[in-house]
Amino acid sequence: MQYKPLVVLTLAQIFAQCAAPIVVLLGGIIGSKLAPSTDLATLPVALMIVGTAATAIPAALLMSKIGRQAGFIFGAAYASGAGLLGAYAISTQSFYLFCLATFLIGSHNAFIQQYRFAAAESVSAEKVGPALSILMLAGVGAAYIGPEVALRTQYSAHWGEFAGSFMALSLLMAVALFILLFYRGTSTKTEASTEPQRPLLEIIGNTRFILAVSASAVGFSVMSFIMTATPVSMHHGDQHSLEDTTWVIQSHIMAMFLPSLFSGLLIAKLGAEKVITAGIVILLGCIAIAYMDQQLMHYWWALVLLGIGWNFMFLGGTTLLTQTYRVAERFKVQAFNDFLVFTPQAMAALGSGLVLAKWGWTGVLGFSLPWLLCLVPVLWLQMHKANRQQLSLPTADSQG
């Protein structure tokens, strides 16, 4: 069956991706109870993203050696162990052990990010956009299941509040591992000897690659910077209930993935550059609404727009990226891309708690603007190049 790998990956991602929403929802809240100072409250969430950045290259290179399936199963296995470690850290009131658990959970996210490349490899070139859209819809299920399970199991263990949530996280990772046993992907070793590879510097110098990486990196960074601060700002700063905070985070994560129902079609019809432009405008709208007030609906609308803007920028960037490399070059380009995307995201998440503690919610919003503004000239350069190519004018950088 041609689409079986995509179906298995989508089902596995529904459960594997639950870990990140759970850490986003509870990491700052637990951190505020365990951390030695309020400045470190969001460190567990930030370290989850640092774990993703630190493992981006090793995850891709490992799978180039042992295959996609073995790599995915390996990641899910230690993520399940990390959930148990998180529960134990809560029971012993160990902040730094809890940080280690979230780092390992984030490390697993680097393996999850490779799902999208495995999905792209499972279909023909013209179906890559729709395949990525289908895969990203798994995030809708994860957006509901992860926070809902965390909320319902927060008192289920005698080890302390939220210890049960991380035990449940461990079980969800085990379910993903079981589903991955049925995954059969394409070969990872046969193409390199039959197709020449260009130097990495030649590939990354292309304006299409630069925009692909920049759009994904800026989208992830702004999203993480605001999202990381939201639970702490809502629940501890503005005294919104945990249920309301959960609803906002669930809505945000669903908004990250629901647009995949149509964003892939928009890219096919309008082009990735225009969809990325729409993402920038939507993120500016998110910041504007969040500036207005800190009532529940302001948080809700801002976080929903944050999710939609991220989807447009990330899916647009990923689609552009698949157009920049040959089959034999895929692992080194994918690894380098993810490192460049998740490193600034990790920096944004690390800085989010500090900015929130020193300048409050408005400070978080203010620091988000430069990320978006820096992307504008890169976007203009690629769109200008694309327009010249449509007019059949020669460019110095036509090799994509």
Choose between 90 and 328: higher pLDDT.
90
Q: With 90 as the cut, is the pLDDT of residue 123 above it?
A: no
Given a contact cutoff of 8 angstroms between Cβ atoms, the answer to whether 88 and 159 are in contact is: yes
Element (H, E) at 203: helix 200-204
- What share of the chain has pLDDT > 70, as a percent? 94
Given a contact cutoff of 8 angstroms between Cβ atoms, the answer to whether 305 and 289 are in contact is: yes
| DSSP letter assigned to residue 271 | -
Burial classification of residue 190, based on how many CB atoms lie within 10 Å of its CB (0-12 exposed, 13-18 middle, 19 or more buried): exposed
The rounded distance, in Å, linking the Cα atoms of 220 and 111 is 17
pLDDT of residue 215: 96
pLDDT of residue 392: 55
- φ and ψ of 92, to 5 deg: -100, 0
Q: Is residue 354 in a domain?
A: yes
Q: With 60 as the cut, is the pLDDT of residue 189 above it?
A: no
CA distances from 21 to 17, 50, 278 (A): 8, 16, 25
- CATH code for the domain in which residue 283 is found: 1.20.1250.20
- pLDDT mean over 164-181: 96
The rounded distance, in Å, linking the Cα atoms of 42 and 31 is 6
Q: Which tens digit of pLDDT belongs to each residue from 339-370?
A: 999 889 888 888 888 899 899 999 999 999 99
Q: Is residue 224 in a domain?
A: yes
Q: With 70 as the cut, is the pLDDT of residue 193 above it?
A: no
- pLDDT mean over 90-97: 95
The rounded distance, in Å, linking the Cα atoms of 80 and 169 is 7
Which tokens sit at 74?
């390996």
Q: Is residue 122 in a domain?
A: yes
Q: Is residue 400 in a domain?
A: no
Q: Is residue 191 in a domain?
A: no
Q: With 80 as the cut, is the pLDDT of residue 125 above it?
A: no
Rank 96-110, 140-154, 240-254 by mean pLDDT and report only the highest. Answer: 96-110
CA quadruple 391, 392, 395, 397: dihedral positive or negative?
Answer: positive
Q: Where do we find the tokens 């759970």?
A: 22
How many Cβ atoms from other residues are within 10 Å of residue 149's Cβ?
19
The rounded distance, in Å, linking the Cα atoms of 48 and 61 is 20
Give how far the C-alpha of residue 214 lies from the chain's centroid of Cα atoms, to the nearest Å.
Answer: 14
Q: With 60 as the cut, is the pLDDT of residue 400 above it?
A: no
Supply the Cα-derived Rg of the chain in whole angstroms. Answer: 20
How big is the CA angle at 339 (ends 337 and 340), to the nearest 5 degrees?
65
For 3, residues 6+ apart whose C-beta sits below 8 A from its C-beta are 122, 123
Q: Which tens digit of pLDDT belongs to each residue from 41-57?
A: 889 988 998 899 899 89
Is-above-0.75 flag for pTM?
yes
Q: Is residue 380 in a domain?
A: yes
Q: With 90 as the cut, is the pLDDT of residue 268 above it?
A: no
Range(s) of the domain holding residue 144: 4-184+198-390
> What angle do the packed helices 242-257 and 138-152 form, to 10 degrees?
170
Reference 342, options 332, 350, 331, 353; nearest CA is: 350
Within 26-76, strands assigned E span: none
Q: With 80 as the cut, is the pLDDT of residue 187 above it?
A: no
How many Cβ atoms from other residues are within 10 Å of residue 366's Cβ?
14
- pLDDT mean over 280-285: 97
Lowest-confidence pick of 165-169, 193-197, 324-328: 193-197
- pLDDT mean over 250-272: 87
State the pLDDT confidence band at 168, using cuts at 50, 70 and 90: very high
Q: With 80 as the cut, is the pLDDT of residue 249 above it?
A: yes
Q: With 70 as the cut, is the pLDDT of residue 59 above it?
A: yes
Q: Is residue 399 in a domain?
A: no
Q: Is residue 189 in a domain?
A: no
| DSSP letter assigned to residue 39 | G
Residues, the chain: 400
Look at the chain and report how many structural domains it folds into. 1
> What is the amino acid identity at position 394?
P
Average pLDDT score over the chain: 88
Q: With 50 as the cut, is the pLDDT of residue 191 above it?
A: no
Q: With 90 as the cut, is the pLDDT of residue 237 above it?
A: no
